[in-house]
Amino acid sequence: MESYEENFLKERPQGLCKMCGKCCRTAINRKYTYKELRLMAFRGDEYAKEFLKMFTPYNSVEEARNAAPDVVDKILEELDENEILREEVTFYKCKYLLDNNMCSIYEERPSICVHYPQNAWTITPPGCGYTTWLYLKQEEYKEKVRKAKEEYLELQLMKKKTTDEVVLKKISSVENKINNTIYQFAEYGANNW
């Protein structure tokens, strides 16, 4: 079964990018801290190696803010909303970004860039062409999880009404599928939707 992220990337329209370069000038890594990335790269992790090869960390949030105040402030605001600690986030600038906001290695850009934004909860800079589309995808996924939860409750009622082993086995299989659906979105808050 494909993960939600794999399906997301297949559906994501390429044409929404306005080539503004903001995501290349003040990138963050929401999943890993700079320290973690360095450790991962040291241990041979390909993703971390690729990330650190292209991105140079700013020395401080203030330095990043000087480069792109609107972008940094929006990202910090969204980190707060998502209860992600500001202290754990580093801003980076890509060394391949040109002064005119174009990518100097566009045709050979790394997979991290080809796949950006890589999921519906990617924090995008203000004015990013993907913002509305990502919001709609978030709502779509939330609805999917809500329906899954409703179905789960119905299954609990069905379980109480039967002792048939075959039926109970089928119910258990559907329950597992539902739990997997919810679990895929757990890190984005699915338990509260």
Q: Determine if 19 is a binding residue for ligand SF4 (CB under 6 A).
A: yes
Query: If you count them, how many residues does the chain have?
Result: 193
Q: Determine if 23 is a binding residue for ligand SF4 (CB under 6 A).
A: yes
Q: Which of 22, 89, 141, 188 binds ligand SF4 (CB under 6 A)?
A: 22
Binding mask 76-105 for ligand SF4 (x = CB under 6 A): ------------------x-xx-----x-x
Q: Determine if 168 is a binding residue for ligand SF4 (CB under 6 A).
A: no
Question: Applying CB under 6 A, what is the total number of residues that bind ligand SF4?
Answer: 22
Q: Is 94 helix (H, G, I), strand (E, B) or coil?
A: strand
Residues 101-160 that bind ligand SF4 (CB under 6 A): 103, 105, 109, 113, 116, 124-125, 128-130
Q: What is the largest CA-CA distance in the chain?
A: 69
Q: Please give the Cα distance from 186 to 34 (Å, whole number).
A: 24
* Closest to 52 (Cα-Cα) out of 128, 119, 117, 112: 112
DSSP state of 93: E
Q: Determine if 21 is a binding residue for ligand SF4 (CB under 6 A).
A: yes
Q: What are phi and psi of 91, to 5 degrees?
A: -95, 145
Amino acid of residue 173 = S
Rule CB under 6 A: which residues touch ligand SF4? 17-24, 54, 94, 96-97, 103, 105, 109, 113, 116, 124-125, 128-130
